[in-house]
Amino acid sequence: MMEKMSEENIEDVRVLEAQIEHLQAEVAALQRQQQDNHKDITFHLRGHMQDAMSYVCGQKQAGEKEKVLSKLTEEVEELEEDLKRQTQMNGISLNSCTTKTLQSSGRQLVQQLCVSGHCSELVFQVEFQLSEVKKGQRSERTISDLNVVMDTSDLQNFSSFLSGVEESRDLLLFFRTLRTFSDRCDDRRRTFQHFQVYSGQMTIEKYPSVVSLPGGCRSAVMTLNHPELPGCVLFVHWSVEVSREGRVTPKIELLTKIPEKALQLFPSQAVSGAAEAFQSLLRILGPEAAVESVIMAVSLSQDT
């Protein structure tokens, strides 16, 4: 009797031992895969995220769902608030950031990041490698392989700065300059739009509209032309220049297009010297007031 039981059991034991060996191999392979997954920092889950993961994998009771869901929702709402605040404070709107972990050891982490977004109307996409090396208590961060993509079709003065910044890997300088450049362009747009409306309002009263923005309100040129003087046009050229170093300089000039005949009729410097006169006005009154004076002059306004 004892012997018969032994035979069955020996067979069972053998089968079970084989099964266990197979399972151990499976588990080891899955653990390796999981370790690889954990190297991806984005999906390195902690806290409420870990709880949610446990729930989804069936480790928690069905009743826990509400609790897990509400805690995670709360945390996500906090993060949304935080993002709104950072977006407003930094003046940069990011709409996507993808990371790829290239190397992850105890002391070194190397990631490839691709960040896209916009700063006011300027759209960008930036790709770079970020390395973090632990040196004692501090960790050293460095950027390499910086690549910036922007629609520079109407940003001629920006492209030389862009190639310089890619070479020097000055990621932070790029964003500081982008923001300042965007601010100065916004100044221009606001001023031009204001005068377009302002001039339009004057039309309603008595005088025809003299201001036009042939390239739109984001362009660099505003033209001033009195319809009763069709050949005479004044151009306010407001460019925003960016040096290779990242210095943003607005440059406003008044250019005139007056037919020879008209110039002959007015030998005084008033017309031909308009450009220099405008520069003086700029220095004394600042851009908005200077432009306003010119508009008033061109409108042949009786109000001044």
Partner 1 sequence: MVTQTPPKSKKNPQLVLDIFIWEATQNKEKDLRSMDGASTKGVLSHLSLLEVQARSRKTQPRQPSRVKELKAKAEALMTQRDQLKAEIETHKSLQKLRASMDKQCTHEEEEEEEEEEEEEEEEEEEEMAEDSENSQLLRLMARHTQLKDLLHAHDIIGGYNVIKTRKGKGLCVSLTTAYNGVYLENYNLEMDLKPTLRISRDNIPPFIPLKSLAEQSNMETDIRTLLDPLSQHLNAFAGRKQQLKLVKELHKSVQVMESNALCSLLVLMFTVPREKTAVLCSLEYTDHTRCLPTRVHFECEDKGLPDSPEWKKNGSLLMETPVHKALITMKKMGDIV
**Binders of partner 1 among 16-75, rule CB under 8 A?**
16-17, 19-20, 23-24, 26-27, 30-31, 33-34, 37, 42-43, 49, 52-53, 55-59, 65, 68-69, 72-73, 75
* Nearest CA-CA partner of 299 in 224, 232, 192: 224
| Residue 128 or 278 having the CB closest to partner 1 | 128
Within positions 82 to 121, which residues make up the interface with partner 1, using CB under 8 A? 82-83, 85-87, 89-92, 94-99, 113, 115-116, 118
Residues 249-257: contacts with CB within 8 Å, 24+ apart?
Answer: 250/184, 250/187, 250/188, 250/287, 252/282, 252/287, 252/290, 252/291, 253/278, 253/279, 254/278, 254/279, 254/294, 256/232, 257/231, 257/232, 257/233
- Residue count at the site for partner 1 (CB under 8 A)? 78
Strands 211-212 and 138-150: unpaired
Q: Stretches 13-21, 154-162, 200-208, 280-288: which one binds partner 1 (CB under 8 A)?
A: 13-21
Which structure tokens are listed for 258? 């007056």
| Residue 173 or 296 having the CB closest to partner 1 | 173
Which structure tokens are listed for 26? 């499976």
Across the chain, which distance is largest between two alpha carbons, in Å? 134
Min dist CB 286 to partner 1, Å, is: 16
| Residue 33 or 160 having the CB closest to partner 1 | 33
Min dist CB 57 to partner 1, Å, is: 4
Within positions 206 to 265, which residues make up the interface with partner 1, using CB under 8 A? 245, 247
| Residue 9 or 108 having the CB closest to partner 1 | 9
Stretch (H or E) spanning 195: helix 171-205
Min dist CB 172 to partner 1, Å, is: 4
Within positions 116 to 155, which residues make up the interface with partner 1, using CB under 8 A? 116, 118, 123, 126, 130, 140-144, 146
| Residue 58 or 227 having the CB closest to partner 1 | 58
Among 100, 176, 237, 251, binds partner 1 (CB under 8 A): 176
| Residue 37 or 163 having the CB closest to partner 1 | 37
Gap between the Cα atoms of 4 and 10, Å rounded: 10
Gap between the Cα atoms of 211 and 205, Å rounded: 15
Buried b (16+ CB within 10 A) or exposed e, 264-296: eeeeeeebeebeebbeebbeeeebeebbbebbb
* Planar angle of CA 95, 96, 100, nearest 5 degrees: 170
Min dist CB 195 to partner 1, Å, is: 23
